[in-house]
Amino acid sequence: MNPSPEKFFYSGTRKEITEHAAALIIAEAYRAVADHGRFSLVLAGGNSPRPLYRHLAQGVSIELLQHYELKVPDCDLKSNGKILSLPENTWLFQGDERCVPSDHPDSNFRMVHETLLLQSGIPENHFFRMPTDKANTEKGAREYEATIRNFFLASASIDEQEFPLFDLIVLGLGDDGHTASLFAGNTEALQEKTKWVVAVSAPEAKPPGKRLTLTLPAINHARNVMFFTTGAPKAELAKKIFLEETGPLPAALVSPVNGKLFWFSDHQ
């Protein structure tokens, strides 16, 4: 495991953590654009982030940013009533995807498209979808890694170990401690050291089947990683993982090398 990163745990009502997480993402987006001209955001799938993505699509108020003491570069934070949306130079990626058609109810692409893309001003060509329509899932994984690599090579923003430097990665948490599509039973995927994207078979997942997922090295080299999880059972597990009171669950292996780790978990 990597040395302990700078990490934070935020708990509140579902509304509170959704507002706070959205405000943090937008603040980091403007900071990234001010620093290096664009914001690269990796999105989690599943059901928990739906309200978060809807909130991002609507934007956040200056008052909300002030409430959470979040600073935004090059923005007038004295403008009461002003709404800040994700900047135009935001680029979206997927952390994992199920190998189902894009219009399938279980498609993470469909969820992101409905909750964020259709409601925001982000161009659809700024969203890099995982190619899960390939008969050969290994080929799909290689193609998505090439897509990420080309994106970062274009701006020479790959670190010395040649891993992507995503500005922020949103992750979910499963009841069993999995995150993205990294499951405890898939030792090979969890021990991957060089690949950024892998194809996995997840018979224990809901629904079971093949998936593509970012690997731990790709996740752990991000500038910021955010777990966003809702529901009482997950809240208890999230706190235990944050306090390092669990065994080597996949989510507990997320430990940014040089970045920050944020946990958002609601209480009922």
The DSSP H or E segment spanning 54 is helix 50-58
3-state helix, strand, coil in the chain (%, to 5): 35, 20, 45
Percent of the chain topping pLDDT 90: 78
- Total domain count for the chain? 1
Indicate whether 210 belongs to any domain.
Answer: yes
What pLDDT is stored for residue 5 in this prediction?
A: 80
Sheet holding 6-12, edge to edge: 6-12, 260-266, 224-229, 168-171, 39-43, 90-94, 127-128
Q: Provide the residue range defining the domain that includes 65.
A: 6-266
Indicate whether 219 belongs to any domain.
Answer: yes
Indicate whether 73 belongs to any domain.
Answer: yes
What whole-number distance in Å separates Cα of residue 73 and Cα of residue 66? Answer: 13
AA identity, residue 162: E
Indicate whether 1 belongs to any domain.
Answer: no
* Residue 239's CATH number: 3.40.50.1360
Q: Which residues contact 94 (CB under 8 A, 6 or more apart)?
A: 42, 43, 45, 108, 109, 112, 128, 129, 130, 212
Indicate whether 13 belongs to any domain.
Answer: yes
What pLDDT is stored for residue 159 in this prediction?
A: 52
Question: Would you give per-residue pLDDT tens digits along the chain (268 residues)?
Answer: 456 789 999 999 999 999 999 999 999 999 999 999 999 999 999 999 999 999 999 999 999 999 999 988 866 555 566 899 999 999 999 999 999 988 899 999 999 999 999 988 899 899 999 998 878 999 999 999 999 999 998 766 555 458 999 999 999 999 999 999 999 999 999 999 999 999 999 888 888 889 999 999 999 999 999 999 998 889 999 999 999 999 899 999 999 999 999 999 998 5
Indicate whether 134 belongs to any domain.
Answer: yes
Sheet holding 209-214, edge to edge: 96-98, 209-214, 197-202
